[in-house]
Structure 1
Amino acid sequence: MAAKSTVEDAIKNNKVAVFSKSYCPYCIKAKKLLESLKVSFAAFELDQLEEGSAMQAYLKEKNGQSTVPNIYINQQHVGGCDDLHAAHRDGRLQKMLEA
């Protein structure tokens, strides 16, 4: 399945991988937080990729989360926008990024 290997490669080859949809306000908010922290990340806009729907289905199978953004840092699933902001507020995000 091409979508599975695309997702796994994205997670493996990027310190921060954000599976997103270009029009999603939560995705935009999450990416803005990362940008404000000067964190480089790879964004995969599922609504603009031919296999985006299959990638999103695989992510749900992989981590149980069906919504976007679906964020990985150092190959660890962080969750969505609220999870990312919570990790930033309590200091976990900085620790994840330093690892």
Structure 2
Amino acid sequence: MDKIRDLASQKAAVIFTKSSCCMCYSIKQLFYDLGASPAIHELDKEARGREMELALRGLGCSPTVPAVFIGGVYVGSATDVISLHVDGSLKQMLINAKAIWF
């Protein structure tokens, strides 16, 4: 779990994904469209990806991917992020974390 916390706090926006996950792709595209450049950790391409996935589950991430962290804080999965985007708070969270500038 320490590795997840370390990775999640290394950049303003961090997304744990799997390369075959369509919702992961959608969330990454949303961040890019908003002007963010998140750190992407594709668990199916990481040497310790399975261990990282279990750690995400241990942190309460359900489903485990996509797992989105902004400012080192777990924001949620795809459903949570889309809800934040729809109500307008995702962009402000990214601004506050200095993941995007306006």
TM (normalized to structure 2)? 0.87
Counterpart in the other structure of 2:26: 29
Give the number of aligned pairs: 96
User: For the Cα contact (< 8 Å) 1:59–1:66, is it kept in 2?
Assistant: no
Structure 2 unaligned blocks of 5 or more: 97-102
Matched residues in 1 for 2:29 and 2:61: separation? 24
Listed one character per residue, the Cα deviations across residues 44-93 of structure 1 (whole Å, up to 9, x for unaligned) are 00000110010010011112424210110011211111211110110110
Counterpart in the other structure of 2:46: 49
Aligned to 2:19, what secondary structure does the other structure show?
A: coil
Relative to total residues, which structure has the larger helix share, 1 or 2? Answer: 1
Counterpart in the other structure of 1:69: 66
| Root-mean-square deviation (Å) | 1.2
- Letter of the 2:41 counterpart: F
Matched residues in 1 for 2:6 and 2:44: separation? 19
Structure 1 consecutive aligned stretches of length 4 or more whose deviation exceeds 3 Å? none
User: For the Cα contact (< 8 Å) 2:61–2:77, is it kept in 1?
Assistant: no
User: For the Cα contact (< 8 Å) 1:56–1:66, is it kept in 2?
Assistant: no
- Letter of the 1:47 counterpart: D
Structure 1 unaligned blocks of 5 or more: none
User: For the Cα contact (< 8 Å) 1:57–1:66, is it kept in 2?
Assistant: no
TM (normalized to structure 1)? 0.89
Counterpart in the other structure of 1:9: 6
Q: Does 1:18 align with 2:15?
A: yes
Aligned to 2:59, what secondary structure does the other structure show?
A: helix
Aligned to 1:63, what secondary structure does the other structure show?
A: coil
- Letter of the 2:33 counterpart: S
